[in-house]
């Protein structure tokens, strides 16, 4: 036991011997356990067992610390919760950067989410702020520590602060190279291989002659917080440099590394907001999700832990705590929107409702999600990502909100904002709200479709069921035509089968009655026949849960057999030069997803379809790319050698997110998303196509690798809507309503029994494909561009029929296809060549497809070529 021998000798030796012996121990144990030894020596200097100090004698500390230290070295030197208690067992009157840095090191070394929360809880206990944070016990002398705890959590959660520094990696390198009088190019080269910019800056700080690191940390968290506020106020480098120079003089290397990571809003501690706030209180994260007000949450926690009595039962205490910690909504502070998951069957949808309850089916509008806050004459508009919505998108509709809610002095509503065609009363596509796009639609106005009310006149409504929230919405709402409208809603009555008994066991959660399913199917068919985006299904008893995916969404994209279970939101990682008339342009883009396991961005597909010439020209200037070679691929990108792009984005965490659809998910050895020890082929997409940009999403909200794997698994499942929605004769008219209840049952008493038939195009020949059901699903041929082979002897009737089938299935056409299809011609490069079953035609490198293969694919519901 050499470690114990050294440490025991240290108790009785001189300070110099203490240090010498501990240096030998430092070489024998991990860096974490050495911190304990250093702490022990330091505590002996401060107090040699003086009872008046309130500290334990060092010999007593030594015995308990060393027992735990020995065990820790046998578990890969991971810092256990008990060790952490010893490490911070001294009362700390000034929360320091040194202790925050040690906490971050410990969080980084801990693999379990639960253990990370425990580390934070133990850290808080030993700050002397309160005894048992997560156990609902009383506070032990707050003594002004509330603000200190608030600062601590602001620093642990830098992404949740409202401070904006506008400093990227290269800008930081520019500033610190000047401070250190270091070679900027050398620092940039080191950055390419380093873990992050903070690591590079720390490396050059350690060997700087111009500015020497402090030998001991002396920064308090209050001082760091004030520095960050000053830095956020500085907008030019000439103002930032003096601030940085002043604080760097007081930083150790570890201090500065952590400080840079706070500025870059990535502490690299592998802990999200939930794990960190769970360490404060089990209900803190939920309260923060609702209010987005960290200071209010901490205040509530401190108040709740001080007022909860110990005479309550555990269950009653937990419920009491949940209520007391809840902060509700704060006006002008956005809350995370409630979301929906993909739904592929009526049974899945109806199972969400309570037995004998109701299911709200609301039209899903293809617009931009907006959360609107109104406080008197003040308005605030927040996007799905909780950022302020650009003024040009909402200024046209803001004056109409007071008209729509004349009796509401204070209001928070959840909406979809889009352009509405005033002639047809139909919404226009996503992305048309931009200034230039809006100018192209002269007969359209910016319109808001309101579907939820979260706050009204001083009262938070998020804990009330949606049935109550909708009633409040309808009671206080007054429609403003073409400007502010209520979302269309239908109420589906569910009739669950009676509960079954098996012996003494009562089986609950039995399937819905078969009579409920046709009601939902008919509504689905009507929605898709009108080219609406889909439905959102909400159980009438459900409350508003910020950030949770407890609603269901049904879109055309989800329902095709064997196809993608959902469109995916991928990150633009790189680009390739085009060919032909697109030579010299970035026209094919490398799309990817973030892998939380490897902490790298992985590749999913190359996408070159779906862009107009105008879009491509805009992207050349808008995308922030840099040219690379085979030898300088950045470390953040996991890409196979055969797919190394001509360009990569400068910062993947600032790169745009695009919605990509395709024929189906596939596996490809060239792509890296989802690769593992048991999987040699990555996840990819067959015939990918750009659908729309998602400016409302960041890299963190894009589809990650884990979600991709789930979607791939879901894609193999058949939707039970497939047959009924493919049959146009099953489409029935359902009158639109916004507030009136519509009973939906198998009898169809409130439905128009006459099927609505779409007018047939004059001159259409249906004899050749009358047996093929028209597809009201997600188009089977979406993303494909067909060119008709030249010098062929096509039967013209058969050709026209096949072209109509292709267009109905979502394909685009190219080349000489006749005047009937002239308006459907695509600007994209052809992907397939339509050839007759026999006859001669010019050889081509395109995939060749015959009319018969098109028909067979439609009949099978999947591509057969």
Active-site residue, from 364, 553, 555, 697 = 364
Interatomic CA distance for residues 658 and 699, integer angstroms: 10
Counts for the chain of helices (H) and strands (E), in that order: 29, 28
CATH superfamily of 169-263: DNA ligase, ATP-dependent, N-terminal domain (1.10.3260.10)
Nearest Cα neighbor of 291 from 164, 160, 186 is: 160
Report pLDDT for 67: 42
Nearest Cα neighbor of 524 from 367, 751, 689 is: 751
Nearest Cα neighbor of 490 from 446, 533, 535, 531 is: 535
Report pLDDT for 536: 94
Buried b (16+ CB within 10 A) or exposed e, 106-117: bbebbeeeebbb
Report pLDDT for 180: 96
Per-residue tokens: 132? 């048992």
Domain ranges of the chain: 169-263, 285-325, 340-365+488-540+718-758, 367-486, 568-715, 785-860
Beta bridge partners of 134: none
CATH superfamily of 367-486: DNA ligase/mRNA capping enzyme (3.30.470.30)
> What's the CA dihedral at 133, 136, 142, 144 to 10 degrees?
70
The third-level CATH classification (topology) of the domain covering 568-715 is OB fold (Dihydrolipoamide Acetyltransferase, E2P) (2.40.50)
Mean pLDDT by 10 residues, the chain (865 residues): 39 43 43 42 41 42 44 43 45 69 91 85 72 35 65 93 90 96 94 91 96 93 95 94 96 97 92 89 86 86 61 47 63 91 74 77 90 95 90 91 95 94 79 54 87 95 95 95 94 61 33 58 76 87 90 72 65 88 85 93 93 89 91 93 93 95 82 82 88 90 92 66 44 41 34 36 34 41 82 75 78 73 71 79 76 82 75
Beta strands in 442-599 (DSSP E): 444-456, 459-460, 484-486, 489-493, 500-502, 505-507, 534-539, 549-555, 568-577, 586-595
Report pLDDT for 840: 60
Interatomic CA distance for residues 437 and 696, integer angstroms: 17
Beta bridge partners of 421: 426, 444
Read off the DSSP letter of residue 143.
Answer: T
In this prediction the pTM is 0.55
Read off the DSSP letter of residue 849.
Answer: E
Residue with tokens 């200071």: 295
Over its C-alpha atoms, the chain yields an Rg (Å, rounded) of 32
Reply yes or no on whether 170 is catalytic: no
Confirm if 343 and 554 have CB atoms less than 8 A apart: yes
The third-level CATH classification (topology) of the domain covering 785-860 is Rossmann fold (3.40.50)
């Amino acid at each position: 036991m050499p470690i114990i021998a050294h440490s025991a000798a240290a108790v009785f030796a001189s300070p110099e011997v203490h240090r010498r012996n501990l240096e030998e121990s430092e070489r024998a144990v991990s860096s974490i356990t050495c911190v304990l030894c250093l702490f022990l020596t330091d505590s002996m200097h401060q107090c040699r067992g003086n009872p008046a100090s309130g500290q334990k004698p060092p010999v007593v500390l030594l015995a308990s610390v060393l027992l735990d230290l020995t065990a820790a070295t046998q578990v890969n030197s991971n810092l256990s919760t008990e060790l952490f208690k010893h490490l911070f067992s001294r009362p700390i009157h000034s929360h320091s950067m040194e202790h925050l840095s040690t906490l971050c090191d410990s969080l980084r070394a801990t693999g379990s989410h639960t253990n990370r929360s425990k580390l934070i809880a133990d850290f808080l206990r030993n700050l002397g702020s309160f005894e048992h944070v997560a156990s609902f016990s009383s506070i032990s002398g707050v003594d002004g520590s509330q603000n200190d705890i608030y600062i601590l959590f602001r620093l642990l959660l830098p992404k949740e602060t409202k401070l904006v520094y506008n400093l990227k990696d290269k800008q930081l390198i520019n500033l610190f190279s000047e401070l250190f009088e270091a070679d900027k190019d050398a620092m940039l080269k080191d950055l390419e291989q380093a873990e992050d910019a903070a690591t590079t800056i720390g490396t050059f700080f350690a060997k700087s002659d111009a500015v020497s690191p402090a030998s001991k940390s002396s920064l308090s968290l209050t001082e760091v917080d004030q520095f960050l506020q000053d830095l956020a106020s500085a907008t030019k480098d000439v103002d930032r440099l003096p601030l940085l120079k002043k604080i760097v003089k007081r930083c150790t290397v570890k201090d500065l590394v952590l400080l840079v990571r706070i500025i870059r809003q990535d502490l690299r501690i592998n802990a999200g907001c939930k794990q960190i706030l769970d360490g404060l209180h089990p209900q803190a994260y939920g309260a923060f999700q609702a209010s987005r007000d960290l200071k209010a949450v901490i205040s509530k926690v401190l108040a709740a832990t001080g007022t909860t009595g110990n005479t309550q039962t555990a269950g009653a205490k937990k419920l009491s705590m949940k209520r007391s910690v809840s902060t509700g909504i704060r006006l002008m502070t956005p809350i995370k929107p409630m979301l929906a998951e993909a739904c592929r069957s009526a049974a899945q949808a109806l199972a969400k409702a309570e037995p004998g309850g109701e299911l709200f089916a609301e039209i899903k509008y293809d617009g931009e999600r907006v959360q609107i806050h109104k406080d008197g004459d003040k308005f605030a508009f927040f996007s799905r990502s909780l950022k302020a919505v650009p003024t040009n998108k909402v200024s046209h509709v803001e004056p109409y909100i007071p008209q729509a809610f004349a009796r509401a002095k204070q209001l928070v509503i959840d909406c979809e904002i889009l352009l509405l065609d005033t002639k047809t009363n139909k919404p226009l596509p996503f992305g048309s709200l931009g200034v230039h796009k809006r100018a192209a639609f002269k007969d359209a106005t910016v319109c808001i479709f309101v579907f939820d009310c979260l706050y009204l006149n001083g009262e938070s409504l998020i804990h009330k069921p949606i049935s109550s929230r909708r009633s409040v919405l309808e009671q206080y709402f007054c429609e403003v035509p073409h400007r502010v409208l209520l979302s269309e809603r239908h109420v589906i009555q569910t009739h669950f089968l009676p509960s079954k008994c098996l012996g003494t066991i009562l089986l609950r959660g039995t399937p819905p009655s078969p009579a409920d399913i046709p009601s939902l199917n008919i509504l689905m068919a009507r929605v898709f026949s009108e080219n609406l985006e889909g439905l959102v299904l909400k159980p009438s008893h459900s409350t508003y849960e910020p950030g949770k995916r407890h609603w269901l969404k049904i879109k055309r994209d989800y329902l095709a057999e064997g196809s993608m279970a959902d469109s995916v939101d991928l990150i633009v990682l790189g680009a390739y030069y085009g060919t032909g008339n697109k030579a010299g342009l970035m026209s094919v883009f490398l799309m990817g997803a973030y892998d939380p396991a490897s902490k790298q961005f992985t590749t999913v597909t190359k996408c070159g379809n779906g862009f107009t010439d105008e879009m491509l020209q805009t992207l050349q200037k808008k995308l922030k790319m840099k040219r690379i070679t085979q030898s300088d691929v950045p470390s953040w990108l996991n890409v196979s050698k055969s797919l190394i792009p001509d360009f990569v984005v400068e910062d993947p965490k600032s790169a745009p997110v695009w919605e990509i659809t395709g024929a189906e998910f596939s596996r490809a050895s060239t792509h890296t998303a989802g690769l593992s020890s048991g999987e040699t082929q990555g996840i990819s997409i067959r015939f990918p196509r750009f659908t729309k940009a998602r400016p409302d999403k960041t890299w963190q909200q894009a589809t990650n690798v884990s979600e991709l794997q789930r979607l791939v698994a879901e894609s193999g499942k058949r939707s039970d809507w497939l047959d009924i929605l493919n049959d146009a004769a099953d489409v029935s008219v359902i009158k639109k309503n916004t507030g009136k209840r519509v009973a939906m049952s198998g009898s169809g008493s409130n439905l128009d029994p006459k099927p609505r038939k779409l007018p047939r195009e004059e001159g259409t020949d249906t004899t050749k494909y009358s047996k093929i059901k028209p597809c009201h699903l997600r188009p089977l041929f979406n993303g494909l561009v067909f060119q008709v082979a030249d010098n062929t002897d096509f039967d013209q009737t058969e050709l026209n029929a096949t072209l109509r089938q292709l267009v109905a299935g979502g394909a685009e056409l190219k080349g000489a296809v006749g005047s009937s299809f002239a308006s459907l011609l695509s600007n994209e490069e052809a992907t397939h060549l339509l050839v007759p079953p026999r006859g001669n035609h010019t050889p081509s490198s395109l995939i060749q497809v015959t009319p018969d293969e098109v028909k067979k694919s439609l009949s099978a519901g999947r591509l057969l070529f």
